[in-house]
């Protein structure tokens, strides 16, 4: 099997393909493509009739869906699950920073204890979109003795959660929002999840609850969020993603007393490349052995 890596080929990915036992080749001769370093609008440059499998570098692939680039006849795999641990780690960091008001003290020029300090230990954590990141987060939360309310696509009970409901169960979702001290958004960006956290959803949250979004900016209505923060109707928001993204300089969320904005840095390149390399090596091995691939994209579901 010949594999092409492009439009950009980091040496770690080349090493992963070789370690798995495949050969690196030019795009036109490769039945497999490891995509890195460009958006879906450039896919046509490397696509060709002999292409059978494309490994995409991100967990969320909604830009490929929107661009209509996921053509029939090719198996696309996302990197879903690959970055779960590093994103979960970042998520816990955002939760604790919010709980402990570390954004406020980071901005201070004098010694003064901020208001609103709380504990994560024993808290109720709602996870909206309890997939790979949610499960990894639950592992990290285990020593805190939290109660997890999980919302997922199927409604199938999530191991370790106190309670699970389907995203289609509107009253269940409202309950998760209303009872949680921390609402973590980790669902894929689809037409169904656009502005899932709107003014109505925010109005259900506790007045000291924190919203943490590590999914995609489109899931949260930014203007409604700013209004809720200004009205102090929720405790705070910690966002690794935003809408629009990037947030324009000087946006009210930057340095907001109740907000922490990390610029899509849950999975920076320094952590992404080694994790992606492991997934590439694993999937190339599986392909060579005729086994099923990890992260196969469901074209109907859109993720």
Is 254 an interacting residue with respect to a second copy (CB under 8 A)?
yes
200, 268, 291, 299: which one binds a second copy (CB under 8 A): 268
Q: How far is the CB of 103 from a second copy (least distance, A)?
A: 4
Q: Which stretch binds a second copy (CB under 8 A): 39-47, 198-206, 245-253, 280-288?
A: 245-253
Q: Which stretch binds a second copy (CB under 8 A): 9-17, 68-76, 142-150, 204-212?
A: 142-150
* C-alpha to C-alpha distance for 127 and 122, rounded to whole angstroms: 15
Q: Which stretch binds a second copy (CB under 8 A): 39-47, 56-64, 90-98, 279-287?
A: 90-98
Count how many residues are written for the chain: 303
Q: How many CB atoms lie within 10 A of CB 282?
A: 17
Q: How far is the CB of 114 from a second copy (least distance, A)?
A: 7
* C-alpha to C-alpha distance for 183 and 95, rounded to whole angstroms: 9
Is 242 an interacting residue with respect to a second copy (CB under 8 A)?
yes
The count of residues interacting with a second copy (CB under 8 A) is 53
Is 37 an interacting residue with respect to a second copy (CB under 8 A)?
no
CB-nearer residue toward a second copy: 171 or 270: 270
**210: Cβ contacts below 8 Å, ≥ 6 apart:** 95, 98, 99, 181, 182, 183, 234, 235, 236, 237, 238
Is 109 an interacting residue with respect to a second copy (CB under 8 A)?
yes
Q: How many CB atoms lie within 10 A of CB 213?
A: 27
Q: How many CB atoms lie within 10 A of CB 296?
A: 14
Q: How far is the CB of 85 from a second copy (least distance, A)?
A: 6
Is 112 an interacting residue with respect to a second copy (CB under 8 A)?
yes
* C-alpha to C-alpha distance for 285 and 269, rounded to whole angstroms: 24
- Residues annotated catalytic, as ranges: 216, 245, 264
* C-alpha to C-alpha distance for 189 and 129, rounded to whole angstroms: 10
Lay out the site mask for a second copy across 157-196 (x = CB under 8 A, - = otherwise): ----------------------------------------
Please give the helix or strand (H or E) that residue 2 lies within, else none: strand 2-7
Is 289 an interacting residue with respect to a second copy (CB under 8 A)?
no
CB 76 within 8 A of CB 297: yes
Nearest one of 218, 231, 134, 227 to 176, comparing CA atoms: 134
Preceding peptide of 4 cis, ω within 30°:
no
CB-nearer residue toward a second copy: 139 or 230: 139
* C-alpha to C-alpha distance for 99 and 235, rounded to whole angstroms: 9
- Tell me which residues touch a second copy (CB under 8 A): 85-86, 89-90, 92-94, 96-97, 99-103, 105-114, 117-121, 139-140, 142-144, 242, 245-250, 254-255, 260-266, 268, 270-271
């Amino acid at each position: 099997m010949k594999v092409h890596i492009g439009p950009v080929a980091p040496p770690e990915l080349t090493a992963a393909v070789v370690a798995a036992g495949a050969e690196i080749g030019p795009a036109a001769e490769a039945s497999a493509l490891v995509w890195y370093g460009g958006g879906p609008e450039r896919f046509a440059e490397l696509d060709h009739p002999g292409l059978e499998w494309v490994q995409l570098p991100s967990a969320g692939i909604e830009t490929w869906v929107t661009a209509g680039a996921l053509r029939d006849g090719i198996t696309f795999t996302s990197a879903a699950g690959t970055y779960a641990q590093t994103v979960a780690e970042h998520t816990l960091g955002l939760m604790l920073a919010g709980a402990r008001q570390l954004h406020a003290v980071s901005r201070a020029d004098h010694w003064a204890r901020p208001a609103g300090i709380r504990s994560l230990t024993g808290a109720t954590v709602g996870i909206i979109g309890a997939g790979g990141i949610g499960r990894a987060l639950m592992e990290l939360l285990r020593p805190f003795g939290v109660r997890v309310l999980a919302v997922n696509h199927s409604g199938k009970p999530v191991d370790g959660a106190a309670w699970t409901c389907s995203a289609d169960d509107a009253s269940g979702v409202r309950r998760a929002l209303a009872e949680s001290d921390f609402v973590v958004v980790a669902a894929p960006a689809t037409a169904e999840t656009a502005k899932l956290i709107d003014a109505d959803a925010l109005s259900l949250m506790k007045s000291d609850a924190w919203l943490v979004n590590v999914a995609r900016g489109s899931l949260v209505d930014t203007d409604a969020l700013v209004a809720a923060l200004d009205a102090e109707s929720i405790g705070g928001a910690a966002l690794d993603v935003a809408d629009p993204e990037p947030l324009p300089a000087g946006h009210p969320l930057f340095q907001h007393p109740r907000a922490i904005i990390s610029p899509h840095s849950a999975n920076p390149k320094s952590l992404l490349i080694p994790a992606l390399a492991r997934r590439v090596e694993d999937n190339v091995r599986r392909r060579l052995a005729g086994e099923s691939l990890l992260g196969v994209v469901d074209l109907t579901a859109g993720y």
